[in-house]
């Protein structure tokens, strides 16, 4: 099970996030992609005057043979396809941000990336959509479910549902 966080606060953010969700379908086993509602979220650790974000999360079963490193490269390519510069300031406004949050229970610690995502559990804009999808999933290294991490999170972030799941997304029962 793969968990990817999506965000945008430049351009037509809702349309960008929905289009990016479509782009992620190519890495998912057939009929396995699930997506959260879209959320309007306050910027976290961003430059002054940064606009609100549209955030969501998707989960899916990875296609056979897909490894986290290859998926991360593809996520970065999709970001560039949507106009994100290859070199960018962390937390600056952006057309699209795709974060590989979880890839099964795998862990990585390299110059390229850290898995699970090292700051995800401290962010309401990540945990709230993730909890809609896989609340009982255990976060590697913390031995806590996503629902528990969400319940224990103390934050002043503002996160509220923008609209229902995009119509093509399969809702989680």
Residue positions annotated with a catalytic role: 84, 94, 97, 99
Strand partners, 55: 7, 39
Q: Are 132 and 159 in contact (CB under 8 A)?
A: no
Q: Report d(CA 144, CA 121) in Å as an integer.
A: 10
Strand partners, 38: 163
Helix (H) or strand (E) run with residue 21 in it: helix 13-24
Q: Report d(CA 3, CA 100) in Å as an integer.
A: 6
User: 109: exposed, middle or buried (C-beta count within 10 Å: 0-12, 13-18, 19+)?
Assistant: exposed
**Rg of the chain over CA atoms, in angstroms?**
15
Q: Are 102 and 126 in contact (CB under 8 A)?
A: no
């Amino acid at each position: 099970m793969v968990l990817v966080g999506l965000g945008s606060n430049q351009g037509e953010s809702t349309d960008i996030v929905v289009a990016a969700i479509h782009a992620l379908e190519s890495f998912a086993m057939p009929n396995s992609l699930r997506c959260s509602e879209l959320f309007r979220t306050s910027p976290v650790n961003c430059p002054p005057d940064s606009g609100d974000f549209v955030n969501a999360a998707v989960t899916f079963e990875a296609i056979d043979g897909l490894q986290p490193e290859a998926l991360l490269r593809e996520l970065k390519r999709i970001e560039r396809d949507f106009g994100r510069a290859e070199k960018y300031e962390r937390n600056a406004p952006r057309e699209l941000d795709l974060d590989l949050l979880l890839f099964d229970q795998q862990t990585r610690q390299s110059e390229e990336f850290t898995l699970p995502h090292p700051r995800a559990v401290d962010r309401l804009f990540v945990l709230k959509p993730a909890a809609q999808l896989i609340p009982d999933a255990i976060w590697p290294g913390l031995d806590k479910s996503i629902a528990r991490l969400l319940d224990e999170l103390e934050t002043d972030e503002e996160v509220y549902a923008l609209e229902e799941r995009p119509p093509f997304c399969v809702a989680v029962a």
